[in-house]
Chain A
Amino acid sequence: MENSPAVAELRADRPSYLRHHFQSVEQQADASNFAMWLFLLTELMFFGGLFTAYLIYRNWYFAAFVAGSHQLNVIWGTLNTVVLILSSFTMAMGVWCAETARKSGLVLCLILTFILGLCFLGIKSVEYTEKFEKHHVPGQHYSLSSFLYPDTDEAATAAGDKPLPLDMARHTEVYFSLYFAMTGMHALHMIIGIGILVFMIVRARAGAYTVGHVTFVENFGLYWHFVDIVWIYLFALLYLISRH
């Protein structure tokens, strides 16, 4: 089998990274790119469920959503948006470096993307800590005081919040449920992405992506940009509800 003429003929001018079941490099690259786009489509449906929930509850409990969003720190949020857009830029540069076979440039770009990703998670954890301290994490210890007595709360006072009726104040817990579910799911995607980045940095230093086979880098770029775009929507929907 191994030495049959048909197999030998197929082996001729097949680069090592072309898997056995593809006819050509183009077919392989096409198939993996298509796979990535389809995967992003499933991701879109995944986040779509959360966005649907957001849409419904925001319509029902608008006042609670506004009061809830005033508790988020817009400065940290904006900073994080900048960090992520920068990381998208370094990632795009990385893809370009891979396509033009610039090994050291690729490694540098991937490391920068990695660092920016970690920065994002660091800032996010600062924000989460604030929420823990103010008992804005849904569950048993959730506290309504920032919404019932906005005078006692710095952020609410700064935003000029009026006290919410008890019923509406309770619904801020739905807002924070969505906040944690959505940003948490997004952070999970970031963590997975950072894990893959480590793998890629190691492989890129060994020169794996600068010999013509760049599909993996391109596909990861698509993933990273997708995660970035989700954040931009989250930032607008969660932080900027009443800030036009």
Chain B
Amino acid sequence: MSTDTLVTPPEQSAPTIPEVNYLTKEYGLRSWLLTGDHKRIAILYLISLSFFFCIGGTMAGLIRLQLLTPHADLMSSDTYNKVFTMHGVIMVFLFLVPSVPATLGNFLIPMMIGARDLALPKINLLSWYLYVIGGILVLYTMISGGVDTGWTFTTPLSTHYVNTNVLSTCLAVFIAGFSSILTGLNFLITIHKMRAPGMTWFRLPLFVWAHYAASVQMVLATPVVAIAITLLMLERMIGIGIFDPTKGGDPLLFQHLFWFYSHPAVYIMILPGMGVISEVVSTFSRKRVFGYTAVAFSSVAIAVFGFFVWAHHMFIMGISNYAVLVFSLLTMLVAVPSAIKIFNWAFTLYKGSITFEAPMLYAFGFMGLFTIGGMSGVFLGSAGTDIHLTETYFIVAHFHFVMVGGMLMAFLSGIHFWWSKVTGRMYSEKMSQMAAVVTFIGFNLTFFPQFVLGMLGMPRRYASYPPEFQALNILSTAGASILGAGYLLAAFSLLWSLKYGAVAGNNPWRATGLEWQTQSPPLTENFTEAPIMDHEAYDYAWLERQNSRDEVPHGE
């Protein structure tokens, strides 16, 4: 393994799209809807995820428009409550949780470990159908009058005091949760049992390590929210008393069960994104990821610590002071592995031959914004400042820095990075670079003012606010429109490439992963012959030797 930096100009003399690949193997709707191919299921997920992202994004736009003025001018307070609830439910359960794992993870994990498919292809397809059923239930909720509890379904509000469609939303979350469990289960089995000969644990790409850690959380945490939501539904339907204080039940128990999932859930959301960043940063600095083992284990550490910090969502809900102390300390601890990742990426960049293609620009965006998002999380994890900041726009800004600035940037970075593998064509570099920059500017303009607003004390989840907050809210709304333009530009660049993009060839980025050593788009079987892993991950010297010896073999 060499730590030298190697610069290789893109070669590939006039590549063509191979005639036989997973997209052309069969045609017709039926061949897609009944497929067992992990790559096709990834595409199904990508399409449905994008659809729900558009709906959730529209809701976000409505929220920002409403907050342009201090009074509830655009919609009534009731409608506003429903809009922000639907924004949260859709973005969390139907976009962020499945985003990278169900699309890129589904597509790439078997290829990265040298397998022909995930271990359980039918279960994989089932998980997509469950996702769709969950999505349809959410759409039904929206059409039949919405729900206004917030995405956290706080009891007793959700069980006793609202008359909206809590049941259908909860059922949707329950079903989407099972989709996520099945995805995580499939990944764990695949990574354990399907690795190619020579693919030891410490030769796995960090993308796979990150997904492994996230899958552990999906499998262990999601059932707990399933039971919490089941009990909530039973309480609402037939009036059992487990969370009902009038009968001796305790609403705090719901909070414990809910956050026992929903805090690990944010790591389910962010860990796969971190996996993407490891791949992208290494490829565009032409260097092995600095401290491979540390980055791999920091994923596992995040997964483990992530289970023991849930009560930091409940500091002001009446848990004991001792619990606050312990959970505050544990929350600080979880910042350590996240910081290990950020530092190691920074050291990977150090003395690398950095190029600034669109995936790398998004990755830079991720690193900066995730750092701010993560550090502001420490403010909220400290019990003292949390009491001032909780339930204000500071929380909103923190969460969006991590999830939109972090996760969504990572998602776009990954989609651009592997787009040529998925479709065989290259997106428009100029357009996507511009989109990355516009997104970054728009994002900061949208959410940075919200940190300030939160510090000043503007509460979240209200349709109106005191007039002195208007200037910052106008900035935020202006930023949101720029952010939206950035997303549209990126989407346009990707869609444009489907027809007009340059043919990319097998390995346009000169990356080292096994997925790049086969044709683009890949065969249904992924590889013409079962690969044997005979080098470390991110071994650019190996790739160099490989290229000087012979051309990377194309598909049949």
**Is B193 engaged at the interface, CB distance under 8 Å to the other chain?**
yes
Q: Which of A45, A46, A52, A173 has the most CB of B within 10 A?
A: A45
Q: Which residues of A contact B231 (CB under 8 A)?
A: 49-50, 53, 181
CB distance from B454 to the nearest CB of A (A): 32
CB distance from B373 to the nearest CB of A (A): 28
Encoded as 1 (CB less than 8 Å from any A CB) or 0, chain B from 504 to 540 comes to: 0000000000000000000001001110000000000
In angstroms, Cα B189 to Cα A167, docked, is 50
Contact indicator A42/B193 (Cβ below 8 Å): no
Contact indicator B223/A43 (Cβ below 8 Å): yes
CB distance from B39 to the nearest CB of A (A): 12
Q: Which residues of A contact B227 (CB under 8 A)?
A: 46-50, 185
**Is B416 engaged at the interface, CB distance under 8 Å to the other chain?**
no
What number of A residues sit within 8 Å (CB to CB) of B?
45
Contact indicator A31/B119 (Cβ below 8 Å): yes
**Is A244 engaged at the interface, CB distance under 8 Å to the other chain?**
no
Q: Which residues of B contact A50 (CB under 8 A)?
A: 227, 231
- Please tell me which one of the listed residues B117, B222, B242 contacts residue A178 in the complex, with CB atoms under 8 A apart: B242
What number of B residues sit within 8 Å (CB to CB) of A?
50
Contact indicator A27/B193 (Cβ below 8 Å): yes
CB distance from A88 to the nearest CB of B (A): 23
In angstroms, Cα B230 to Cα A56, docked, is 18
Contact indicator B189/A35 (Cβ below 8 Å): yes
Q: Which residues of A contact B192 (CB under 8 A)?
A: 34
**Chain B interface mostly:** helix
In angstroms, Cα B149 to Cα A149, docked, is 40
**Is A138 engaged at the interface, CB distance under 8 Å to the other chain?**
yes
Contact indicator B219/A41 (Cβ below 8 Å): yes
CB distance from B440 to the nearest CB of A (A): 39
In angstroms, Cα B234 to Cα A177, docked, is 9
Contact indicator B529/A6 (Cβ below 8 Å): yes
**Is B404 engaged at the interface, CB distance under 8 Å to the other chain?**
no
In angstroms, Cα B224 to Cα A39, docked, is 13
CB distance from A239 to the nearest CB of B (A): 19
A31-B224 contact in complex given A38-B188, A42-B181, A171-B247, C-beta closer than 8 Å: no
Residue contacts A-B, CB under 8 angstroms, 5 given = A32-B120, A35-B119, A42-B181, A49-B228, A177-B247
Residues of chain B whose beta carbon lies under 8 Å from any beta carbon of chain A: 20, 25, 110, 115-121, 123, 181, 185-186, 188-190, 192-194, 219-224, 226-228, 230-231, 234, 238-242, 247-250, 253, 256-257, 260, 525, 528-530, 556
Residues of chain A whose beta carbon lies under 8 Å from any beta carbon of chain B: 1, 4, 6, 19-21, 23, 27, 30-32, 34-35, 38-39, 41-43, 45-50, 52-53, 56-57, 60-61, 64, 137-140, 170-171, 173-174, 176-178, 180-181, 185
